[in-house]
Amino acid sequence: MSHELLSASHLDRHGYLFGHPIAHSMSPLLHQTVYDALELNWAQIPLDSTDMELFLKLIKAPRFYGASVTMPHKVSILQHLDVLTPEAAAVGAVNTLFVQDSTETGKRLYMGTNTDVIGIRESFYKNIPDPDGVFHGRPALVIGGGGAARSAVYALKTWMKATKIYLVNRDRSEVKAVIDECTARGYGDALVDVSTVEQANVLEGPGAIVACIPNFPPKTKEEKEARKVLECFLGKEHKGAILEMCYHPDPWTEIAEISEQEGWKVLLGTEALIWQGLEQDRYWTGRSVEDLPVEKVVRVIGEKLKG
């Protein structure tokens, strides 16, 4: 990518999608849909790179408005920011960089937030008309042990009235890391590592599930046990809603298929993509989500998926 392109001299303002690999990301398309509808001469430029120094240089441009930060930079970016929002500090990861001028010094501040948590929350509330009957006041379940799993725990615990959160994963050390980190940040109480079907059998069924793992058939003994634990929960009497965060290359995954067969409402990962992206544009444009072209974004992402 040329530095001429990265300077974005033809734009009034510009941002970046910073990560690697990002070739399949729908983020620039989502944001361009918003800017075009608002008649803003803005763009989000893909920066497929692991070069943090280059990124830190580029964001000093006067017309830079912010960036989507994705893997592998969501944690490493923290040390380079001036201020973190409560969500970013609690999850320990940033997916959104925005700028503000300090009221004291007038100096530009580089701010970090995490809109993944909003994407997870809104996926449920925008699609489930009866949250009290479906997931409020019930246990929740998170599959996986990475950054998305931490975001899911935060959203479920902070906003979605989960009484406790079951963690289902092939790797016990990953689960321990999630529990330890969430506890250190003040929201780790009531996290339960569910490692066997015997354990799952006697537990109350969840109302909300967030699946944060790639779409592949379980192969190892640990993967097969984790899948059986999930199937045990899906088979319980109460049927809730499951958000399948994996949407590439196809949003309809094995887990989505099993869940639907068991009578669960399946929410596609593109829902989380859309709502976290609109939340980013709220920070960048200063407009409320209600003033953004929500229906157009939903339509454009849906068309892109059909390909």
Contact 46, 24 (CB under 8 A): no
Residue type, 57: K
**Residue given tokens 């944060």 in the structure block:** 212
> What is each CA distance from 203 to 14, 42, 157, 160, 237, in whole angstroms?
50, 50, 18, 19, 12
Q: Which of 74, 157, 161, 176 is catalytic?
A: 74
Alpha helices in the chain (DSSP H): 3-7, 27-37, 52-58, 86-91, 116-125, 131-134, 147-158, 172-184, 197-201, 221-234, 254-261, 269-285, 294-306
Contact 94, 74 (CB under 8 A): yes
DSSP assignment, residue 267?
E
Catalytic annotation present for 74:
yes
Q: Which of 158, 120, 113 is nearest to 245 (CA)?
A: 120
Determine the Cα–Cα distance for residues 197 and 186; give it in Å rounded to an integer.
29
Considering only CA atoms, which of 105, 116, 98, 83 is closest in space to residue 245? Answer: 116
Residue numbers annotated as active site? 74
